[in-house]
Amino acid sequence: MARVCLVAFCGALVAMPATATAQDVVYERLRVQGGFTHEDRGAQASLDDVWLGATPELAAVFARPRTFSQLTYTLTGMIHTELPAEIANRLTLGVSHEISKTTLVFASAEAFQTSLRNLLTSRPAAATELAALAAPEGTFLGVRATEGLSWEAGPRVRIGQGLDAAMVTSIDSGPTKNYLANASFSADRVWQFDALGVEARGGYASNQVTTRINQKLVTTSLGPRWRHDFNARLSTFVTVGGMLILSPDPGTGIVLASTARGSLLYALSSARLDLSAASGAEPNILTGQILRTHSVSLRAWFPISERHRVFCSASIAYLRGGPVRVRRFDLSGDFQGVLADADLNWLATDSLQLFARYQFFDQIADDPTPLSNPSVVRNTAIVGIQFFSQPPDRTLRFREPQRVDRSDTTSPAP
């Protein structure tokens, strides 16, 4: 797998525009880290594991007057005292392109092969997502692609469109295949500080697992949305609507539900805080389920001392949910999830960074059954050192901006 990803990375580099500019950069990173993980699996035996890992990363950033793209390949090798050694690979590509002064298109794609444990700690603490886990272990192979378009159709009219598709399959824990696809469309009337409009969404999920009832689900939702920029730093986003959920499988019914999402974004040149809440039905790529969820999360990246280059990032989240029940007799149970993830980074020199991280994950099954997402508690402490040819100062966000003025297309680098 590593060889395949490396070949794909080199091929993508060749496919990039040959004419370089001073803004084109190729940089390398090497992260060496060790940690301790305590895992409690309920009725099963607990696990105490000490591990050591190394993660080399190669990234290429290409900047043009109207196009920004970034290609990154990451390889992770880990050895454990209680678990088998593992190798993980991740290849990502992000592109943002201004087709014209009024039209912005953004896209991203990734392919990954990783264990579930590595997946939970491989992303920055400020980007950790709280999601249901069908099993505390296993190795997965997956691909995901997203595309979005923002078009200013007139002086006060903005149109948005998005597509998202993913596939994840297990490698060593039984035949599991999950497919997800989502599409969205929005239209806004824009003022200087406000945008009021409508948002429509559609989704498809297919869950094929031998230990569960295989099912396919289709979702559609429609409702108004509102965005407001309070000032250059603070903005909000709110949308509410109705949702219809159905399945083409025999013996199923139709579910009607409400949906709501909102976020409060505070952004500075050196800090970012994002408070979000959601209620409704959302797809889960790891389980292939569409889950009824109520969630709240806070993500933050901020400097503790800019003079000494000490930074902190964190994610705190709570989720309560369960699978959408389109069958009369569905034995899948509800669950709760809690996530706390924080790291402390010290940029000692322009090429050396020291860090420490703690992650807590708790999934609690309300009424455990063979078909329920299991209860599991994980505590992980990590310390490490990172070398790089040059530290990036900004990270492009390859998604639709939240702010009306679209100034949040970049954020501080994690």
Instruction: Give 52-85 as a DSSP string.
Output: EEEEEEEEEEEE-SSEEEEEEEEEEEEEESSS--
**CA–CA–CA angle 165, 166, 172 (5° rounding):** 170
For 246-259, how does the pLDDT look when each residue is reduced to its tens digit (9 = 90+)? Answer: 888 777 778 888 89
Please give the torsion angle defined by the CA atoms of residues 240, 108, 135 and 313, in that order, rounded to the nearest 10 degrees: -80
* Strand pairing class (394-396; 410-412): antiparallel
Residues 6 or more apart in contact with residue 310 via CB below 8 angstroms: 303, 304, 344, 345, 346, 347
Residue 7: strand pairing partners: none
For 34-74, how does the pLDDT look when each residue is reduced to its tens digit (9 = 90+)? Answer: 999 998 876 667 889 999 999 999 999 888 888 889 999 99
How remote is the C-alpha of 28 from its chain's centroid? 23
Written as one letter, the residue type at 71 is L
Q: How distant, in Å, are the alpha carbons of 180, 213, 245, 286, 402 from that of 207?
A: 9, 8, 15, 10, 31
Q: Which residues of the chain have pLDDT under 70?
A: 1-23, 42-44, 131-138, 172-175, 209-214, 285-289, 327-332, 368-373, 391-400, 409-414
| pLDDT at residue 397 in the model | 56
- DSSP E strands in 101-212: the ranges are 103-115, 139-154, 157-170, 176-190, 194-209
**Which pair of tokens denotes residue 162?**
């998005």
Closest CA to 116 of 128, 92, 133: 133
pTM of the model: 0.79
Task: Answer yes or no: are the C-beta atoms of 130 and 317 closer than 8 Å.
Answer: yes
